[in-house]
Structure 1
Amino acid sequence: MPSSSYLIVGEKSFLIDPGYKNESLPLVLKELLPSGAELQILLTHGHIDHYESSFEIKRTFGATIYVHQRDVKKVSIGALREVLSRKEEVQSHWRSLGFMEFEEVWRELGTIQALYVDPIDEVLPLPPSLKISESEELRVIHTPGHTSGSVSFLWSKRSVLFSGDLLLPSDQETWLSGPCFGEEDAFLEDYERSLKKIANISPELILPGHGEPFSNVTERISEIYLKKKKRKKEILNAFEKNEKLTAYSISLRLGDKPKGYPRLFHVGMIFELLKELEKENFLKSEIRDGVILWRKV
């Protein structure tokens, strides 16, 4: 699904998540921006579906590109290229999940990366806040989980939150980079801490990274936790007596249909829930030849 882009026009103008390359975007911006306006590009995180057109917009309008320090490398060299540069580390992590489609997925990632030319360009770390005008500002909130450098932008005066991929509409799910690619600070615990931050702020309107805006923030966060509870029950029911399973084999048993790259996200989330179930004393793990095996207690 295409990402959502947002434009704030003020004394300084901000383009949040310009998305994939789009020939019409520079033309639209020329129509909407005041003559000589200073434009800043703000990225909620370093995934190409949110930032690819940033470089063209920068060249056309002299814009400055900002992303959280933890995701600067993803944007400056390309998110998939960063993963591909860590082959041994990522391969070891996938092996621990029991993931059996390594070669297929690795080729798929390489093919996807080859479709994009990510120029190394100046990308700056986000400051704590950005002024829209003398009386209004965007507050930068570090909300890791989807990536280690994911952020949300809070327009406090209007109680609006640009959530990126942290909080999406109910027909979509946020995938975590930690369990998929071994990325630090992008695991389930990080994601849930970020959700609590947003719940405490309780904005009136969410403008997400994909899909339609929504306002039922508390209900949406509750839905996420209810879905997690249901998934944990399904995982426990997948075990036969005295059986030892990997995260990958559980994904297959639960009937997760995607293959290759998309299945990796399912396996990663199952891995996170397995760890949580072990902390709750429902499961026990052991490592055999680099593979983590799980069994019911």
Structure 2
Amino acid sequence: MRLDTSLHRIGNDIVAAYLVVTPEGVTVIDAGLAGHWRELVTELATLRLTVADIRGVILTHGDSDHVGFAERLRRDHGVPVFIHAEDAERAKGGPKPATAKQQMRLGALLGFAAYTLRKGGARTRWLTEVIEVQGGETLDLPGSPQIIGMPGHSAGSIAVYVPVADAVFVGDGLTTRHVLTGTEGPQPAPFTDEPAQAIASLQAIVDTTAKWVLPGHGAPWSEGVEAAVAAVESAATGPR
């Protein structure tokens, strides 16, 4: 799905991944679920591109519903995969800390589980090799993506700011659709290791002044990063 010039999404409001498309090639940000591979190839074909045009994958963190087809791109097509050093082992199938009990509604939970299974969530191929980033880098990839440390959801969560797309990709730094309750609008993401730290980390993306805020779960937000962050902070302190 084309969102804007240079900016495309695959998946849906349950689980999404993104493409930054430039004359120099494609940068993939997050890799969704394994079954999103077909959507990736189809979206590229609509642009008269192929997997060979992908220059790199950046993972906002190492959870299975963001790792998806990344290892397939790396192993079969030689595409480098970038992730923060603190999440490298998580992306390789390493341990994930237990989180607090989650609020949920049965319908939303079942919808998330069914979609995840349908898209290959039970057959995740974990990464075997990654390129580690630390935060603060501008990568030599299409769109010149800038890495912003966003610890909280996980120790190595990052945001990715791409000026040419006027977009900041936030992974699970926030969500616009809670996968366990179905509640819509900017809010804290579930399954977060350190909830208070995740909220505090949002200040790191405000200075981008990006129009687009693009989470791994939920509808794309085009009303600006400052409004999105304010909404999440309000949701975090309001009635739950």
Regarding TM over 0.5, the answer is: yes
Paired residue type of 2:171 = G
Flag the structure with larger Rg.
1
Answer 1 or 2: which has greater helix percent: 1
Paired residue type of 1:142 = G
CA distance 1:210–1:228, shift in 2 (3 Å) = closer
Q: Secondary structure at the match of 1:131?
A: coil
Instruction: Give, in angstroms, the shift of residue 156 of structure 1.
Output: 2.0
* Whole-angstrom CA distance in 2 between matches of 1:129 and 1:154: 9
* Whole-angstrom CA distance in 2 between matches of 1:204 and 1:161: 8
CA contact (8 A) 2:188 2:235 kept: no
Where structure 1 has 5 or more consecutive residues not aligned to the other structure, the ranges are: 98-111, 179-185, 235-297
Where structure 2 has 5 or more consecutive residues not aligned to the other structure, the ranges are: 1-12, 102-116, 177-184
For residues 153-197 of structure 1, what are the alpha-carbon distances to aligned partners after superposition, in whole Å with 9 as ceiling and x for unaligned?
11124421111111322165412532xxxxxxx341x21231111
For residues 197-251 of structure 1, what are the alpha-carbon distances to aligned partners after superposition, in whole Å with 9 as ceiling and x for unaligned?
12233211112212221123333322222233334xx7xxxxxxxxxxxxxxxxx
CA contact (8 A) 1:168 1:210 kept: yes
Instruction: Give, in angstroms, the shift of residue 56 of structure 1.
Output: 1.7
Which among 190, 201, 206 is matched to residue 175 of structure 1? 190
CA distance 1:70–1:208, shift in 2 (3 Å) = same
Answer 1 or 2: which has greater strand percent: 2
1:27 aligns with 2:36: no
Which among 199, 203, 213 is matched to residue 192 of structure 1? 199
Paired residues, what number?
195
Matches within 5 A, 1:253-264: none
Instruction: Give, in angstroms, the shift of residue 70 of structure 1.
Output: 0.6
CA contact (8 A) 1:12 1:131 kept: no
Paired residue type of 2:231 = E
Matches within 5 A, 1:73-222: 73-76=89-92, 78=93, 81-83=94-96, 115-116=122-123, 118-119=125-126, 121-126=128-133, 128-132=137-141, 136-169=143-176, 170=185, 173-175=188-190, 177-178=192-193, 186-188=194-196, 190-216=197-223, 217-222=225-230
* Whole-angstrom CA distance in 1 between matches of 2:237 and 2:51: 52
The equivalent of 1:15 in structure 2 is 28
* Whole-angstrom CA distance in 2 between matches of 1:199 and 1:41: 24
CA distance 1:27–1:201, shift in 2 (3 Å) = closer
CA RMSD of superposed structures (Å): 3.0
How does the TM-score come out when normalised to structure 1?
A: 0.57
* Whole-angstrom CA distance in 1 between matches of 2:87 and 2:58: 12
Q: Percent identity?
A: 23
How does the TM-score come out when normalised to structure 2?
A: 0.68
CA distance 1:34–1:173, shift in 2 (3 Å) = same
Higher RCO structure, 1 or 2 (CA under 8 Å, sep 6+) = 2
